[in-house]
Amino acid sequence: MDVERAAKAPDRSGRPAVMSDVGRLAGVSHQTVSRVINGSRHVRPDTRERVLAAMHELGYRPNSIARALVTGRSQTLGVVSFDTTLYGPASTLFGIERAAHEAGYFIIIASLKALDRASVSEAVDRLSLHGVDGILVIVSEQGSADALLATSSTVPMVAVEGGPDQGIPVVAVDQRHGASLATRHLLELGHRTVWHITGPANSLESRERVRGWESALRTAGAPVPVALTGDWSARSGYFLGRQLSRDPSVTAVFVANDQMALGLLRAMHERGRAVPGDVSVVGFDDIPEAPFFTPPLTTVRQDFGEVGSRSLRVLVRAIESHLSGATPPGGSLVAPELMVRASTAPVSHRSDATDS
Amino acid sequence: MDVERAAKAPDRSGRPAVMSDVGRLAGVSHQTVSRVINGSRHVRPDTRERVLAAMHELGYRPNSIARALVTGRSQTLGVVSFDTTLYGPASTLFGIERAAHEAGYFIIIASLKALDRASVSEAVDRLSLHGVDGILVIVSEQGSADALLATSSTVPMVAVEGGPDQGIPVVAVDQRHGASLATRHLLELGHRTVWHITGPANSLESRERVRGWESALRTAGAPVPVALTGDWSARSGYFLGRQLSRDPSVTAVFVANDQMALGLLRAMHERGRAVPGDVSVVGFDDIPEAPFFTPPLTTVRQDFGEVGSRSLRVLVRAIESHLSGATPPGGSLVAPELMVRASTAPVSHRSDATDS
DNA sequence: AGGCTTAACGTTAGCGCTAACATCACCTGC
DNA sequence: GCAGGTGATGTTAGCGCTAACGTTAAGCCT
């Protein structure tokens, strides 16, 4: 009988071993091999050993594509992101990947060329066509948030860092709270009010930060200056900083990210306005370089790693509830933290003089 | 006959349409649908139209996992990388993704927790088990380069940014040339010699930069000071910078990356040594913030995007030659570029005085 | 007219795996 | 001693797709 079987066996010389090869060598069916691989309890220990030995001898490697075809799950998640070069998205992506690895998932990335509705839905489409089990979208702009709701995909999705107010779960840092933390810190140092350099107008994070800044000023009864609009780059921070540096009444600036704060620092330095002697500056993000700016930057730390891993957990739960028909999970907010360093100081009398 | 067929058709209500559903609606076999999808010439135009219409009506979406199973190609490539948060790897990853998208591939990432041999081969293993068609490894350390050679995987691989001298193709920036560019620039400004802050000892890039620096000094007949070893962080640049700032004979420093240069700038500033008045500084990488340092940093630009897209092209060719049995492609070097800004200046007489 | 090509399909047989059921030996309780 | 579990396996039938081959009708040559 064994001879007969061996005669029947197709010639697979060269090609990698498959499950039935392992089974044949171990003297069991391919299904028992599958049971061993998937940890079924209904396999006798000695059979398991024989199968394991056969797998080892043949250098057998399970084919996850075949498995995905039959189970309908690829153990792969998609991440849609815009500029993965920026510190924020890059760290978030990193956090997601780490959490995904732990949860047994792979991460496939789709970065966007442009930030319009079309590219977002095109990316979501591409990913779901490729067979991902779920999608994380690192959203930072209103258009993409809208695009997410408009997408017809049935794949579970979670928005990260920003997103529509309803429809899909959102995991993000509490931007408004962070901005208010920064603004209150400056007010408490005695500054009459706080100027603000924002991110791009359509950035969701930027808008939230503006709101947090405004509400903190109003709560304190401080005047609300006109906000200056930047584009996250050090370059824009520099040019807006030059503008602000001309106005001696400006003694405190809350800048919507650390890169722009770096540009502002440089502009102030060029104009001979001391930081924090004449002007106090607070950034946002706490990039690794922030403590080494001149002077070391007071800023609001966002825990991107936490955002990444938390959003992954939410997505995995969304996938499970999608399969079981349970109610999908809600989103969550990560608390930011103020890092006080050397770019902020109590308002000086010199500045007070020009003011009163 | 049509009635019979309809009766035979399984109840797929709810489940997404598959190829045979489309075929049935269009009155053709599933194979003809496949032909339409894959652009076969042997389909009559009116048949093609009917199939397309049926696809549209049913909202048919091809299942790429089933296709991957039968073709043996997943159109997916793996990227192994260490710290995706750093500007270099992040930009390279970004460039790879863009090029992959254009070439019709997806990118799946595997970031490493640690930089030892085991994690590199574990990552390569994980990816090839998942069925990727090829792997790009962003290598930056000797151990990983060795690990690459030791891996038993039969999946085509390309090393990016560094790698073993032979065995697999390597695509990288010409670090040695970049370092020599930086060093020669400083020597040409009249500095007697150039000090050097390196990256971590086991970093391949760092080693190459040290070699370029050394050979430029020797060629010019300049003395070769002892190099100081950093770890890429602004923090380490700061502490090593404090050391250098105490020595008045130090008038020119080549720092192996921009972050450490930032730390050094800060240390010099604290000690009251003017840059570039007393000390000239050159960095490496040209991160987006470099022009906005105080002072704007002279540095060596690496075109990470080019490295990413070029390495992808090499990998795709490696995959094709793997399939056809042709000779695998070789690697290539990307030329760096010196960006002269305001952190370097001709040696001042004040510094000369202490020297002679 | 008979043979030959070719276009335009249909049919069949897998890819490598898991799910679902079938089988069989062995044990249990009364 | 026999119905009725239960544990360990084998068998069968797909998952949705493409490759390879089969079939038919039309066109062309000699």
Chain B: residue whose CA lies nearest to A132: B65
Q: Which nucleotides of chain C does any protein CB come within 7 A of?
A: 7-12, 14-20
Among B173, B197, B201, residue whose Cα is nearest residue B183:
B197
Residue A6 has pLDDT above 60, yes or no: no
Answer whether A47's CB lies under 8 Å from A22's CB.
no
**Angstrom distance (rounded) from CA B54 to CA A343:** 65
Answer whether A134's CB lies under 8 Å from A318's CB.
yes
Please, which pLDDT band fits residue B140 given cuts at 50, 70 and 90? confident
DSSP state of B29: -
Q: Which of residues 6-45 of A touch strand C (CB under 7 A)?
A: 10, 15-16, 18-20, 30-31, 34, 37-38
Of A148-157, A283-292, B46-55, B202-211, where does mean pLDDT reach its minimum?
A148-157
Structure tokens at B141: 């350390």
With a CB cutoff of 8 Å and minimum separation 6, the contacts of A353 are none
Q: What is the pLDDT of residues B307-328, one digit of tens each?
A: 999 999 999 999 999 988 888 8
Whole-number pLDDT of residue A15: 85
3-state secondary structure of B173: strand
Whole-number pLDDT of residue A189: 97
Residue B2 has pLDDT above 80, yes or no: no
Among B284, B226, B289, B234, residue whose Cα is nearest residue B264:
B234
Strand positions, DSSP E, B185-307: 195-198, 228-229, 252-255, 280-285, 298-301
Whole-number pLDDT of residue B117: 81
3-state secondary structure of B40: coil
Residue with tokens 């109590």: A346
Whole-number pLDDT of residue B352: 44
Please, which pLDDT band fits residue A142 given cuts at 50, 70 and 90? confident
Among B126, B11, B115, B150, residue whose Cα is nearest residue B78:
B126
Whether B259 and A288 lie within 8 Å, measured CB to CB: yes
A66: CB within 7 A of chain C nucleic strand: yes
Structure tokens at B280: 């000239």
Distances (CA, A) of A320 to A133, A332, B166, B183: 10, 18, 46, 57
Please, which pLDDT band fits residue B306 given cuts at 50, 70 and 90? very high
**Angstrom distance (rounded) from CA B39 to CA A265:** 58
Q: What is the pLDDT of residues A321-344, one digit of tens each?
A: 998 888 889 999 999 999 999 999
Residue B44 has pLDDT above 70, yes or no: yes
Give the best-scoring range by mean pLDDT among A177-181, B90-94, B112-116: A177-181
**Angstrom distance (rounded) from CA B82 to CA B77:** 17
Pairing of strands B228-229, A280-282: unpaired
Q: Which of residues 5-64 of A touch strand D (CB under 7 A)?
A: 23, 27-32, 35, 40-44, 47
Q: What is the pLDDT of residues B162-182, one digit of tens each?
A: 888 788 999 999 999 999 999
Whole-number pLDDT of residue B47: 94
Which pTM was predicted? Answer: 0.90
Higher pLDDT residue, A232 or A355?
A232
Residue B152 has pLDDT above 80, yes or no: no
Answer whether B58's CB lies under 8 Å from B17's CB.
yes
Mean pLDDT of B103-121: 90
Answer whether B61's CB lies under 8 Å from B115's CB.
no
Mean pLDDT of B11-39: 90
Please, which pLDDT band fits residue B154 given cuts at 50, 70 and 90? confident
Chain A: residue whose CA lies nearest to B234: A289
Q: What is the pLDDT of residues B226-264, one digit of tens each?
A: 999 999 999 999 999 999 999 999 999 999 999 999 999
**Angstrom distance (rounded) from CA A245 to CA A301:** 26
Pairs of CB atoms within 8 A across A/B: 132
Q: Which nucleotides of chain D does any protein CB come within 7 A of?
A: 7-12, 14-20
Residue B24 has pLDDT above 70, yes or no: yes
Q: How far is the CA of B15 from the C1' of D4 (A)?
A: 39
Name the average pLDDT for chain A: 91
Q: How far is A231 from chain B (nearest CA, A)?
A: 13
Q: How far is the CA of A5 from the C1' of C26 (A)?
A: 28
Half-sphere exposure of A242 (CA within 13 A, CB side): 7
Whole-number pLDDT of residue A11: 55
Whole-number pLDDT of residue A115: 78
Helices (H), A72-203: 87-102, 117-129, 142-150, 175-188
Residue with tokens 């240390």: B267
Q: How far is B129 from chain A (nearest CA, A)?
A: 7
Residue B101 has pLDDT above 50, yes or no: yes
**Angstrom distance (rounded) from CA B188 to CA B175:** 20
